[in-house]
Amino acid sequence: MNDLQEKLAAWNGEQLLTSIDHPTNSLICIGIHSSVLGPATGGTRMQTYATPEAAISDCLALSKSMTHKFALANFPRGGGKAVISVPASLTPTEKRGLLERYGQLLSRLKGLFYTGPDMGITPEDLNTMGQYAPDYVFCRTNASGQANNSGDATALGVLSAIKSTVKYLEGVDDLKDKTIVVQGAGSVGSALIKLLLHEKSKVIFTDIHEPNERLINDGAVFVSPAKIYHQEGIIFCPCAQGGILNETNIQQLHCKAVVGAANNQLSHPEAIQQLQTNNILYAPDFAVNIGGAMAITGMEALQWSQEKASAEIAKIGDTIEMIYIIATHKKISTVDAALQIVEERLTKK
Ligand code: PHE
């Protein structure tokens, strides 16, 4: 078997749809990983990938992780994800045309896949897609009557996970004067940094773009991307690209736990053992970062009130605590503990 065949076999999902957008020479991949708990739902990610295989691999991993997220949160949706690999030269006009055709494709799928934002997709982009598939696109701009941004809700969930981790480690969930190291200050990272500053935490952060001056004026300390792994703090919080925890930088970490929003943070499955060896507690990303997808889908598809969404987000910390307890009790990794809960919920249905 070649690499892609192996990945497809290991993925164990329901359907992988691919479509070529000829006018822009883009590859659209939609992974329907599981519809056991409900219709497959997940963000759409748009970026340039080196190869079609890289785009497909990302789609497989991200869609599977959505299944895990919804199952852990006990939310009635299945896992799916779309990845659109675009040429680096894509112009705004070309992007618009591509999103219109992608919206038409979603409409033809008639609810096989529901989507929201992910990297490279703005609320305005979701409006464009939503013109053609209004029932299947979440998180359009406020003017369209939808939530506009899932980053704030995701950040609230990460905060809940950080608090329960600190409580698990130190007995109290007060984040005052605790140093939190945040990698990435995009939609989730910047919202989280604001929440942490409000809790009077010390925040050290990085981003590949120019830092947001407001965050610095409010007290967060900016370091260059290369320096972030070396910073000392109780929590290291990845909020940017996935696959960032590898043999080299796990050795560099100066933290007691990794709790962050980025999807698929471990570069390879064995990274969890290395974290354990280094005495670093790992909160599985798919348990931490469900806040946005759950709150937005709940409010837009299940008529949840804002209060209901906030109450569900606040439960993320409880789930994290349960995972730590099961892992300790059964002497298994936190990832395996979380996956056991997922499997139980998927087979019970
Ligand atoms: N980007 C979100 C995630 O990875 C996906 C999402 C957001 C899905 C909002 C639906 C609604 O969890």
Q: For residue range 170-188, what is the model confidence (pLDDT) as tens digits?
A: 999 899 999 999 999 998 9
Q: What is the mean pLDDT of residues 282-307?
A: 95
- The 10s digit of each residue's pLDDT in 294-306 is 999 999 999 999 9
- pLDDT over 70 for what percent of the chain? 98
Which tokens belong to 332?
A: 């298994």
- The 10s digit of each residue's pLDDT in 115-153 is 999 999 999 999 999 999 999 999 988 766 666 678 999
211 pLDDT band, cuts 50/70/90, is confident
pLDDT of 41 reads 98
11 pLDDT above the threshold of 90: yes
62 pLDDT band, cuts 50/70/90, is very high
Which tokens belong to 42?
A: 């997940």
Backbone angles phi, psi at 194, to 5 degrees: -60, -45
Q: Probe ligand 1: pick from 68, 148, 150, max atoms within 8 Å of CB? A: 150
250 lines ligand 1 (CB under 6 A): no
| Nearest-atom index, ligand 1, CA of 43 | 5
pLDDT of 150 reads 85
221 pLDDT above the threshold of 70: yes
330 pLDDT band, cuts 50/70/90, is very high
285 lines ligand 1 (CB under 6 A): no
190 lines ligand 1 (CB under 6 A): no
Q: What is the mean pLDDT of residues 64-85?
A: 97
The residue whose CA has the least distance to atom 7 of ligand 1 is 293
Q: Residue 8: which residues within 8 A CB-CB, separation 6 or more? A: 16, 60
Which tokens belong to 36?
A: 């056991």
pLDDT of 77 reads 98
CA 19 remoteness from chain centre: 24
pLDDT of 20 reads 98
User: Is the distance from CB of 219 to CB of 198 less than 8 angstroms?
Assistant: no
How far, in Å, from the CA of 172 to the mean position of ligand 1?
A: 30
Between the alpha carbon of residue 282 and those of residues 141, 174, 318, 326, the distances in Å are 34, 19, 15, 13
Q: Residue 35: which residues within 8 A CB-CB, separation 6 or more? A: 14, 78
What does the mean pLDDT of the chain come to?
Answer: 95
- pLDDT over 90 for what percent of the chain? 91
User: Is the distance from CB of 304 to CB of 298 less than 8 angstroms?
Assistant: yes
Q: What is the mean pLDDT of residues 251-256?
A: 97
Q: Residue 154: which residues within 8 A CB-CB, separation 6 or more? A: 187, 188, 191, 261, 289, 290, 291, 292, 293
274 pLDDT above the threshold of 70: yes
- Nearest CA among 342, 293, 312, 337 for reference residue 39: 293
The residue whose CA has the least distance to atom 9 of ligand 1 is 293
pLDDT of 2 reads 73
80 lines ligand 1 (CB under 6 A): no
| Nearest-atom index, ligand 1, CA of 118 | 1
Beta-strand pair 221-222/15-21 = unpaired
Q: Probe ligand 1: pick from 45, 118, 148, max atoms within 8 Å of CB? A: 118
- The 10s digit of each residue's pLDDT in 228-240 is 999 999 999 999 9
14 lines ligand 1 (CB under 6 A): no
Sole residue written with tokens 């120019």: 210
87 pLDDT above the threshold of 90: yes
Higher local confidence (pLDDT), 111 or 3: 111
1 pLDDT above the threshold of 70: no
pLDDT of 147 reads 65
CA distance 12 to 2: 16
State the burial class of residue 108 (Cβ atoms within 10 Å of its Cβ: 0-12, 13-18, 19+): exposed
pLDDT of 144 reads 67
Q: What is the mean pLDDT of residues 316-338?
A: 97
State the burial class of residue 151 (Cβ atoms within 10 Å of its Cβ: 0-12, 13-18, 19+): buried
Residues with catalytic annotation?
81
Phi-psi region of 141 (alpha: psi -120 to 50; beta: other; left: phi over 0): beta
Q: Probe ligand 1: pick from 66, 70, 81, 140, max atoms within 8 Å of CB? A: 66
